[in-house]
Chain A
Amino acid sequence: MLERLRHPWSDRRAELVLGAVACSVAGAIALMIAFVAVGAWPTFAHNGLSWLGAGGNPETQIGNMLHTGPHPPAVAYHLRAWPLIYGTLLTAGLALVFGLAFALLAAVFLVEFAPAAVRRVLSPVVRLLAGVPSVIYGLLGVLVLAPFVGNHVISPAEKRSVQYVVQLDGTGLAVAVVVLTVMITPIMVALIADALSEVPAAWREGAVALGVNPLRATLAVSLRAIRPAIVAAGAFACARAVGEAVMLAMVSGSDAFSPKPWDGVPFLFEPLLTLAASIFRNAEGLSAPAVRSSVDAFALLLLFSAFVLSLGSYLVKLPLRRHHAGLR
């Protein structure tokens, strides 16, 4: 066997082997979708579309599934996932809005205005911030930011105003969004800065020659030219934010409570739970079939949204690619 491998391979054989390996990656994706969908089927079959709706606390509902035996009755699958979906949309959406503004400013600074010395510092900083493991962000969030917010930012009156419904201890929407923003901003900075530096210098120079100041030239010419890349960067970062599990399981308060905007300021500090964080937190109950199926349903929803977002970012970037090919 080994002797045969040592002989030089024919081209045909190498092509087949390498092609098979390459296609196995595509196969893994197909397998993943199939497994998760099959696992999620009982949940959707028993709940129907009202699974997406509101009604009760999903964490309690999953807790009730734990002891329903190896062949749970249809009632055992009862789950209303809206609080988790709402938590996911709220954290990812807010982080995306703040992060995108932050990233646009930082990318423009990095490419157009930063002196060479600052630039030499800033690009490793972006790489570093993007590479820090999420569990470290979570640790700092739960040990540093959350106690600070709980002790110094939330007033006792605010705590009292909602004390019969939920405890405000610092972990919650505000800390989750702040940490998530710090996590996704570097990714967007890098992608936007990359696109900005690929804009032909002549375009900007043309604008500057017409008497526009450098900032206006950047805004009117460069940023306009890379609009698809900005959208794509946002979509990619959004996919990351939606799929983030560990950090949010640590700092979001881990209570599937939907923060209520009409509560006023306490809204910012109310706990929540996202789909990914809920999967992570329920990892120990996976031997119960009903829990397993519910968690698979969360995973299917996450997979679907990640799929849509990466497809979207690919489609949005198509004209840009064609455009660059034309320039070269």
Chain B
Amino acid sequence: MNAFPEALPVKAPRPRRSSLRSWRWGDRLFYVLAWASGLALCLIAGALVLYMLVRGLQYVSPSLIFSRPRAEVNQAQIGGFLDPLLGTLLLVAIGVVLATPVGVASAVWIVEYGQGRVGRRLARVVESSVEIVAGTPDIVIAIFALTLFQLGAFSFLSFTASGGGVYGRSFLTAGAAISLLAIPPVFLATRDGLEALPGHQREGAFALGKTRVATIRRVLLPGVRPNIATGVTLGMGRIIGDTAIVFLLLGVGASERIEPQSGPAGLNVLRGTGSTLTSYIYSNSPAGEGAAPQKAYAAAFVLLAMVLALNAAAGFISGRGRSGRMSFGDRVRYGAWA
């Protein structure tokens, strides 16, 4: 027999597996602890989702979702959470409509225009401001916005109370404040996308005689559309999950109903007060006034389902992006609870 058959598949020598048995005890302990903490994270998340699922299936019913809340002492009569649900959707819409243009415009300016001595310095200032906004606690934003919108000049956003003071609480003011939570993710995703676009796309557009603006509108922005979408989805998640700004700026009343103010149809709701799922959960928990844990669980289940859906959407959209995908760390950091 041939000692070296040619047909024998040539295998690369396998690296000798470093056996745990050769490790020191301290190292083994560290290794086990690392496994344990990784699995602990999975367990916590699994327990959280399962528990909420069980509670949700137990308490959620169509009548709860589609009936309006009522202020009653008797728990059986306080109704469902249609108004908070609509309030959440409305607030997300206002927040996204306000935050997206600001975030995208700032990012475009930083990447495409922020040049020259003054420009670069200004760009640095804007970038650090966004970073500070991302790190500012939501409760501080809420206090600031309440002071700002109670100025007489902003009375058109809410309404003037009988004593002459501006109330400062409405969907418009809450939406304006809450949009600050969504600006950092939109800005960051757009900036990273623009910076990752290959230079020849810009050069090609310029060579064809397009102006800078036309290049931005026709070439660059379409190219970073998936990035913008990722940023917006992350921002929506932060808006949905926020409680502090809602609690201070939406004028959560005892009934949790959407209360329109005077004004043309549409605007009257925007100038009026209401509530969201988060504030509804808080008010119905033992920490709030009404102790109705079943309703709090049901609303929390709906809220968690929305957050999970957004989470999945963000993963799906950012997977489709061609370039400049947000890093894992940035996605968690800018999409985390406010």
Contact = CB atoms under 8 A, between A and B. Distances in A.
B52 interface: yes
B194 interface: no
A133 interface: yes
B72 interface: no
A54 interface: no
Nearest to A11: B212
Nearest to A216: B27
Interface string B128-159: 11111111111111011011100000000000
A299 B113 contact: no
B57 interface: no
A22 B126 contact: yes
A22 B333 contact: no
Interface in A123-138: 123-138
B41 A122 contact: yes
Contact of B212 (A14, A191, A251): A14
Nearest to B102: A21
B51 to A, nearest CB: 7
A19 B129 CA distance: 14
B83 interface: no
Most interface-central of A114, A127, A189 (chain B CB within 10 A): A127
A136 B49 CA distance: 11
Which of A123, A194, A239 has the most chain B CB atoms closer than 10 A to its own CB? A194
A243 B136 contact: yes
A164 interface: no
B196 interface: no
Given A18-B108, A125-B45, A132 B241 contact: yes
A135 B133 contact: no
Interface stretch (B4-12, B30-38, B58-66, B256-264): B30-38
Given A125-B45, A133-B241, A280-B244, A18 B307 contact: no
Contacts of B310: 131
B241 A134 contact: yes
A133 B113 contact: no
A15 B223 CA distance: 20
A35 B148 contact: yes
B316 to A, nearest CB: 12
B317 to A, nearest CB: 13
Interface in A168-199: 182-183, 185-187, 189-191, 193-195
B125 interface: yes
A254 interface: yes
Interface in B229-249: 237, 240-244, 247-248
A128 B303 CA distance: 13
Nearest to A239: B135
Given A19-B122, A132-B307, A135-B278, A14 B139 contact: no
Contact of A11 (B35, B129, B133, B213): B213
A298 to B, nearest CB: 8
Given A131-B237, A303-B136, A102 B37 contact: yes
A314 interface: yes
Given A106-B34, A236-B135, A306-B140, A128 B22 contact: no
Contacts of A125: 41-42, 45
A179 B34 CA distance: 21
Contacts of B71: none
A210 interface: no
B59 to A, nearest CB: 12
A18 B211 CA distance: 16
Contact of B332 (A9, A190, A245): A190
A32 B144 CA distance: 6
Given A122-B42, A132-B304, A10 B285 contact: no
B327 interface: yes
A106 B109 contact: no
B42 A302 contact: no
Nearest to A118: B38
Interface in B257-305: 278, 281-282, 285-287, 293, 296-297, 300, 303-304
What size tier do the contact residues of chain A reach?
Answer: 35 or more
Contact of B37 (A106, A183, A239, A302): A106
Contacts of A136: 52, 241, 281, 300, 303-304
A8 B214 contact: yes
A215 B247 CA distance: 48
A140 B22 CA distance: 44
B219 interface: no
A186 B328 CA distance: 11
A28 B177 CA distance: 11
Residue of B18, B37, B139 with most partner-chain A CB within 10 A: B139
Given A19-B122, A283-B248, A306-B136, A127 B332 contact: yes
Given A128-B308, A133-B337, A105 B126 contact: no
A36 B297 CA distance: 35
B183 interface: yes
Interface string B308-330: 10110001000000000001111
B247 A106 contact: no
A127 B282 contact: no
A214 interface: yes
Residue in B41, B101, B102, B247 with the greatest tally of chain A CB atoms within 10 Å:
B41
11 contacts: A21-B101, A22-B105, A26-B129, A35-B147, A133-B337, A139-B300, A140-B51, A190-B333, A240-B137, A243-B140, A286-B146
Given A132-B304, A245-B137, 14 more contacts: A23-B122, A25-B102, A26-B126, A31-B148, A35-B147, A113-B38, A131-B337, A133-B243, A133-B307, A139-B281, A139-B296, A246-B247, A296-B147, A306-B136
Give the 6 A-B CB pairs with smallest separation, nearest first. A243-B137, A133-B241, A194-B329, A190-B332, A18-B109, A22-B106
